A and B are shown apart, each in its own frame.
Chain A
């Protein structure tokens, strides 16, 4: 039966995606950028919408939520997966609301009055069946995909507004977004980049060689020298793994030190992050935001058995240390992030 084939094909794809995610997390597979993950997640969700069996919006949302929970469980630190799922859920809600003809659901939290009078959730409203809902949702997801493809370009287009000539810019580790940002600015301006290598994986080395290909003057420094050279740095531009709901960051380890050093010297800290990295999580305790990689990357000696070694992967950076977020929709202060989030995600989807 064609329907069953489609279903098995779909579940196969989902399974392979899940195993990809798991492998990436353990470091065995190739390291993917967040943008790729976001695109693949969205494509997979589009496929689910197209091929899975559902009758009304509520069922579709249930299916997506279920698959979404499995995906986030496979790789909890890869938050873009969860973010894309929430975006799609919001799209479904919007399309549903548009099909129904009502436009009041768009801004749930517009005013306190609405908050009090809107009352309970409108879940039971999603039972209605609309014939064109599937096509509309798929079209909206396609729009989302185009948006995703253009994020890096949109961010790098803003580079010349922020970088002037003869600047010394500092960055840490490797971020494809920052790389594109700096390369775009280097086409017109001459400046100097200092890259902190970010032990123990030393992704900074790759970043430096890649920047040198565009003839950008680059210097690689070890992590210990971050504060020592900070006095000569004009701007710090970093990428991040996740932007949290309070405007803080979950970024590669060493970023918090970098942010503190920048604050001490009053150097602006600019974060280049596309919108799909924005996640509704909040930092409850710093410990929840780290993932300990296997420690044999830092210690190879025989006394490993008598010693505790820690190798966290991520750092939490509080929003007070950040000056500016540059995303594909423009520049924002960290205090505005909560608002952007309310536009992207529906509050009921914060918990999948």
Chain B
């Protein structure tokens, strides 16, 4: 274990290459790195760190920490990733001067935390807590304190940061999850987001049979990336069912506790799914709930019992938060629908369709106008469902909105998430509909279950969004498709946004399972929910 160090501070580690070879070997053979191998790798890395610390004095330690802290100054990074990132050549020493002061205080915190962890580690044998890193975890805010929440910036909005990309690549390599590469020219305003092509699914690089990732997760990921399962509720429900399957097939390895090991097992799955398609807010909340439930399993619980408990938890979550919530929302919403109404809906929201079907069953007389937009054309699915029920429908594209809006008496919109500052995040085009409805003085009602409320805040549709496959915009009209070779044209970019945010002044009412609230009451609901949990 010889560590060389170049004069300019870079480390070249010879057995780091060995480690990489081993990982590559394991991947090629298609088997999971055994627990012992992983442990050994981690121990070796920690050994490097210790040797380095002994060789160099405190200044070197600080420089390291600065290098590690510069790529993500707002991250309360867990310990082992920080350790692992340090040996990698990080040429951040130029910015060291600027990052000196905050790095120093972070260095102190880190030293404390490391000391605490070392002591914990020596007390427990063979157990590693360092690997526990969840893709979407935030520090739990106790409801009685107003904590300064240092949130970690999610990876999927840091695509323009090469250090963050590197970090992600390392993490995925460690978890043996394939990294998906971006496709096509990205519009400069959105260079911080991923843009994937549907034609290159992430499963191309997985060996068959996949032993690292559960096959039903692979299937789910493919369904997400190809758009077969779309829509906030559908994705969450599919995710939860797949997790039930995973839990069913899970067996605790010896010397491990189910509550810790299962969470570790879920992490690579979640990374894989977010490579297939970025996680939605509802999925994030569901995953948080599951992880909490798993870690609350008492250690003396037998495996079968624990599994049964978890599956029952998942079932009750789906039942309460999705199915019963939609019943409650329908009840409130039907009060708002009167006879003779002309209701406008946009795209395909499972909740809004449910409401309309229920209202129709209750013998309300109304007709529906379905607004649709390219390139997804989800309105056709909504149209199909409503017509099957027997509801009278009209179909227009979103550019005909000004033409059709004078006839409309109410607008019902679904939501993907409700943000803490009252903005509604929903399918792109929703804000447009709300804008024009406001101009014509038509009331806009948003229907959203409470499990979609999230603590993020956002004011425009740029900072955090999803870019869909740009090839979807290509279309053939009159036998000609002008954008067919858009890649070859130098200055042409195609932008296929998935979400946009609607300001709260366009929305008149939000109907949730807790009642009918104005848009600005979302943080109140979040606070109440946190107290409950």
Which residue numbers of A lie inside 8 Å of B, CB to CB?
194, 197-202, 205-206, 208-209, 212, 215-229, 231-232, 253-254, 256-257, 260-261, 264, 286, 290, 298-299, 301, 303, 306-312, 315-316
Cα(A223)–Cα(B427), bound, Å: 13
Which B residue's beta carbon lies closest to that of A253? B399
Cα(A307)–Cα(B428), bound, Å: 25
Contact B432 A227 (CB under 8 A): yes
Q: Is B494 an interface residue (CB 8 A)?
A: yes
**25 A-B residue contacts at CB 8 Å?**
A202-B374, A202-B475, A205-B483, A208-B482, A208-B492, A212-B489, A219-B492, A219-B494, A220-B494, A223-B398, A224-B398, A224-B429, A227-B500, A228-B428, A228-B501, A256-B401, A256-B402, A257-B399, A298-B397, A299-B395, A306-B387, A307-B395, A310-B400, A311-B397, A315-B403
Which A residue's beta carbon lies closest to that of B388? A303
Give the chain B neighbours of A301 by CB distance below 8 A. 380, 383-384
Q: Is B124 an interface residue (CB 8 A)?
A: no
Cα(A221)–Cα(B494), bound, Å: 6
Which A residue's beta carbon lies closest to that of B483? A205
With A253-B403, A306-B387 as known contacts, state yes or no: A222 contacts B375, CB within 8 Å.
yes
Give the chain A neighbours of B373 by CB distance below 8 A. 199, 222-224
Give the chain B neighbours of A215 by CB distance below 8 A. 490-491
Q: Is B323 an interface residue (CB 8 A)?
A: no
Contact B491 A264 (CB under 8 A): no
Contact B495 A219 (CB under 8 A): yes
Which B residue's beta carbon lies closest to that of A310? B396
Give the chain B neighbours of A316 by CB distance below 8 A. 402
Cα(A29)–Cα(B395), bound, Å: 28
Give the chain A neighbours of B427 by CB distance below 8 A. 224
Contact B431 A228 (CB under 8 A): yes
Contact B395 A308 (CB under 8 A): yes
Cα(A306)–Cα(B496), bound, Å: 31
Cα(A257)–Cα(B396), bound, Å: 14
Contact A310 B394 (CB under 8 A): yes
Cα(A160)–Cα(B429), bound, Å: 33
Which residue from A197, A206, A225, A286 sits with its C-beta under 8 Å from B429?
A225
Cα(A229)–Cα(B404), bound, Å: 23
Cα(A212)–Cα(B490), bound, Å: 7
Which A residue's beta carbon lies closest to that of B502? A227
B 429-443 binary contact with A (CB < 8 Å = 1; else 0)? 101100110010000
Q: Name B's interface SS.
A: mixed
B 369-395 binary contact with A (CB < 8 Å = 1; else 0)? 000111100001001100100000111
Contact A257 B401 (CB under 8 A): yes
- Minimal beta-carbon separation of B376 from chain A (angstroms): 9
Which bucket holds chain B's interface residue count? 35 or more
Q: Is B290 an interface residue (CB 8 A)?
A: no
Cα(A223)–Cα(B433), bound, Å: 11
List of 4 A-B pairs having minimum Cβ-Cβ separation, nearest first = A224-B429, A254-B399, A256-B402, A224-B373
Give the chain B neighbours of A310 by CB distance below 8 A. 394-396, 400, 403-404
With A212-B490, A222-B473, A257-B402 as known contacts, state yes or no: A231 contacts B460, CB within 8 Å.
yes
Select the residue from B398, B406, B496 with max chain A CB neighbours within 10 A: B398
Which residue numbers of B lie inside 8 Å of A, CB to CB?
187, 189, 372-375, 380, 383-384, 387, 393-404, 406, 427-429, 431-432, 435-436, 439, 460-462, 473, 475, 477, 481-483, 489-497, 500-501
Cα(A226)–Cα(B492), bound, Å: 18
Contact B403 A286 (CB under 8 A): yes
Contact A217 B380 (CB under 8 A): no
Give the chain A neighbours of B395 by CB distance below 8 A. 298-299, 307-310
Cα(A264)–Cα(B427), bound, Å: 20
Give the chain A neighbours of B490 by CB distance below 8 A. 212, 215
With A198-B399, A261-B432, A315-B403 as known contacts, state yes or no: A224 contacts B394, CB within 8 Å.
no
Known: A257-B398, A307-B387. 15 other contacts (CB 8 A): A201-B477, A209-B489, A209-B492, A220-B483, A225-B497, A226-B432, A229-B461, A232-B462, A256-B401, A257-B401, A260-B436, A298-B395, A299-B380, A311-B396, A312-B403
Which B residue's beta carbon lies closest to that of A203? B477
Contact B397 A307 (CB under 8 A): no
Contact A223 B397 (CB under 8 A): yes
Which B residue's beta carbon lies closest to that of A217? B491
Which A residue's beta carbon lies closest to that of B430? A224
Which residue from B380, B436, B492 sits with its C-beta under 8 Å from A220?
B492
Select the residue from B403, B460, B483 with max chain A CB neighbours within 10 A: B403
Cα(A307)–Cα(B392), bound, Å: 7
With A223-B397, A224-B429, A308-B393 as known contacts, state yes or no: A216 contacts B496, CB within 8 Å.
no
- Minimal beta-carbon separation of A318 from chain B (angstroms): 10
Select the residue from A208, A219, A224 with max chain B CB neighbours within 10 A: A224
Contact A260 B439 (CB under 8 A): yes
Contact A227 B435 (CB under 8 A): yes
Contact B428 A311 (CB under 8 A): no
- Minimal beta-carbon separation of A267 from chain B (angstroms): 13
Give the chain A neighbours of B403 by CB distance below 8 A. 253, 286, 290, 310, 312, 315
Contact B397 A225 (CB under 8 A): no
Which B residue's beta carbon lies closest to that of A201? B477
Contact A212 B497 (CB under 8 A): no
Contact B432 A197 (CB under 8 A): no
Give the chain B neighbours of A308 by CB distance below 8 A. 393-395
Contact A205 B475 (CB under 8 A): yes
Cα(A124)–Cα(B163), bound, Å: 86
Which A residue's beta carbon lies closest to that of B493? A219
Give the chain B neighbours of A202 by CB distance below 8 A. 374, 475, 477, 482
- Minimal beta-carbon separation of B397 from chain A (angstroms): 5
Which A residue's beta carbon lies closest to that of B403? A312
Cα(A194)–Cα(B492), bound, Å: 10
Contact A200 B397 (CB under 8 A): yes
Give the chain A neighbours of B400 by CB distance below 8 A. 253, 310-312
Contact B374 A221 (CB under 8 A): no
Cα(A205)–Cα(B486), bound, Å: 10
Contact B404 A197 (CB under 8 A): no
- Minimal beta-carbon separation of B439 from chain A (angstroms): 5
Give the chain A neighbours of B432 by CB distance below 8 A. 224, 226-228, 257, 261
- Minimal beta-carbon separation of A35 from chain B (angstroms): 21
Cα(A299)–Cα(B383), bound, Å: 11
Cα(A221)–Cα(B428), bound, Å: 11
- Minimal beta-carbon separation of A301 from chain B (angstroms): 6
